Structures are given as C-alpha cells and as structure tokens.
Amino acid sequence: MSGPKALITFKTTQASLIADFTNLRVYDVRSLIAASEGLERVRQTLRKCEEVRTALVKPLNDHIRFINNEFKKVTTPLKNLDKEITQKIMLYRQEVEKQRAIEQERLNKEAEARLESSLIPEAIAIIAEAQRKSIYMKTGKVTFMTIRKWRLINIGAVPRDLLILNEAEVTKLVKAGIQAIPGIEIYTEEVPQIR
C-alpha cells in the first residue's frame, strides 16, 4: 500500500475506531469482550501505521545519515586542522608576549638604573608583535578580537530561570554585556579571525 493511499485508509479506520469506542463502557463480560476486540483493532491499526510510516521514512533517514557521514568525513579533519592551527598561532603569540615581557623588564631595570644615577630617563616605547591585533598575509589577514565567554563554577548559585543550563541564553546574556551571573565565570579570550 503506498503512502498517500495508506494514510487515507488509516484516517478512515481512525475515525471508525474513535466513533465505535470513544464512549465505550465496560460493565459485564460481553462489554469486556467488545472492549478487548476494540483494543486489538486499535493496536493492530497502530502497528500497521508504524510499519507503513517506517517503510516510507527509512530510505529518507538512511539517505540523510549517508549525507551527514560523507560531510563529516570532510569536516572532521578540517575542524581538527583548525584547532591545530589555532593552537600554533596562540603558542606563537604566547612566546612573543613572553619575549616582550622579558624585554620590558630589562628596559624597566635600565630606566630605574638611569633614575638612580640621576640621568634623564628616555621615553621607552615598545610595540611588540604580541600587541598587534592583525597579522597580514598574502591571502588576507588574521585578526584577534577579545570575546566574552563563560564557564560554570557553581550550578547551585545560578538563577533558577537559567537552569537546565540554557547555554544559548547564557551566551546571549554574556554577548549582550552582562557583567555577572551567579555561579558562572565570565571571562574574555582572544580567538583568531580570518578576513
């Protein structure tokens, strides 16, 4: 039986069963037998409906699963590569920041020594690569922006309207600029962007 024809048949059967058994009263053996037969007809119709529905949607679900798996084969390695590249960029930035801090410390000590020896300290300006917000490449530029993020610290302190932790709502509030949510740490993190 095809989908549309089966659906018409099931709708007709549904209407008949509802008409026959909605006001059913079980008060003796004869009505018990009628109710049992009615229950068997309802369950048989449900089984047939499920069989036809499954036969119709299984090929679609199988196809959707196939498409998702094929795309996952492409995107999973790319997501892993994205993480790897991001980690390398962040490690480089950390190393540059470490070197900048060492150089700044050295310059600060020099300035203190000059002050102690009554020399006029020169203006010290350091623009380190870690301070740069953009790195230019042939294919475009990588920029870094500071974004607000959050992590759960104490679920007991979180307002009840955010429980079954509504991560989307928390993220929306954080992005909107809320400064504090009990039980949640709000912090910033730099992430690379390709433009």
Q: What is the pLDDT of residues 28-37, one digit of tens each?
A: 888 888 888 8
Percentage of the chain lying above the pLDDT 90 cut: 17
| Rounded mean pLDDT, 108-118 | 64
pLDDT per position as a tens digit, 63-84:
999 999 999 999 999 999 998 9
Q: In this structure, how many other beta carbons lie within 10 angstroms of the beta carbon of residue 45? A: 16
Mean pLDDT, all residues of the chain: 80
Q: How far apart are CA 128 and CA 100, in angstroms?
A: 6
Contact indicator for 86, 192 with CB cutoff of 8 Å: yes
The Cα 145–Cα 27 span in angstroms is 75
Confidence of residue 187 (pLDDT cuts 50, 70, 90): confident
Which pLDDT band holds residue 146 (cuts at 50, 70, 90)?
confident
Q: How far is Cα 186 from Cα 173, in angstroms, rounded to an integer?
A: 10
Please state the rounded mean pLDDT for residues 149-161. Answer: 83
- Residue 104, pLDDT score: 81
Please state the rounded mean pLDDT for residues 130-147.
59
Which percentage of the chain shows pLDDT scores above 70?
Answer: 78
Query: DSSP labels for 91-146?
Result: HHHHHHHHHHHHHHHHHHHHHHHHHHTTPPPPP-----GGG-SEEEETTEEEEEEE
Domain boundaries, the chain: 3-78, 133-195
Edge-to-edge strands of the sheet including 140-152? 134-137, 140-152, 184-194
